[in-house]
Structure 1
Amino acid sequence: MIVRQLQDILNTERDVQTETWASRRLLLQEDGMGFSMHETTIFAGTQTHIWYKNHLEAVYCVQGEGEVELIPSGEVYKITPGTLYALNKNDNHYLRAKTDLVLVCTFNPALVGTEVHDKDGVYATPEQMMKQVEEEA
């Protein structure tokens, strides 16, 4: 059984932060669950371009207000507490936060741990990330 407290992840390598978001990676590939789970905060007033070409993601909003805009259709979906959205077609999108958005996110395949979006909003494949981790070791 795996039991973790958010407070134990803060300020560790599982606490990945960028200019527009902070992702606390509660479960990762190494945990062997077949998916990863994260508590992510999208910072108020920001827009993040995301395109998970290599992953499927489901997101549940716990707190805050924002929106998802699909690219290129321009469809916009409001996000408020209690909203679930699933990027089941590797949807290219913008994520905008009106207030800080606190989200619970799951990824399939599971993230390795330190992924951040590349210039196209993409996370590397798990295989690419494992190779990078091995090269850094």
Structure 2
Amino acid sequence: MIVKYLEDIVGTVDDIDTPTWSSRRFLLQHDQMGFSLHDTIIKEGTETYIWYKNHLEAVYCIEGEGEIEVVGGETYQIRPGKMYALSGHEKHFLRARSQMRMVCVFNPPLTGREVHDEEGVYPIMEVRP
């Protein structure tokens, strides 16, 4: 059994901070659950281009407001209670009107070291020691 509190993650190597988001990574590839689980903060007033070419992601908003714009497609408003799943590896822009807090699940699971590359992609990585 795996049990963690957010306070156990904040300020550790599993708390990844970038200019547009911070991801507190609860479950990772080395936990061998078949998915990874993240508590993610999208920073107010930011826009992030993302393309999960190698992963599927489901996102549940629990705080804040913003939008997701699928490149060449629709724009969806995000507010608490909204879930979206990037089931087709959609290229998209994520914009935060206010700070948003999201619960994110990835398959395949992340190792914990990933950040978006110049294409907005998380690479496939091996399990860290």
TM range (shorter): over 0.9
State the 1:130 CA deviation. 1.8
Q: Tell me the TM-score normalised to structure 1 length.
A: 0.92
Moved over 6 A (4+): none
* Cα separation, 2, equivalents of 1:114 and 1:8: 17
Structure 1 residue runs without a partner (length 5+): none
Residue 100, structure 1, aligned to residue 99, structure 2: yes
Question: Matches of residues 1-137 of structure 1 in structure 2 within 5 Å?
Answer: 1-73=1-73, 75-125=74-124, 129-130=125-126
Report how many aligned residue pairs link the two structures. Answer: 129
After superposition, the CA RMSD in angstroms is: 1.1
- Percent identity between the two aligned chains: 56
State the 1:9 CA deviation. 0.4
Q: Tell me the TM-score normalised to structure 2 length.
A: 0.97
Q: Which has the higher helix share?
A: 1
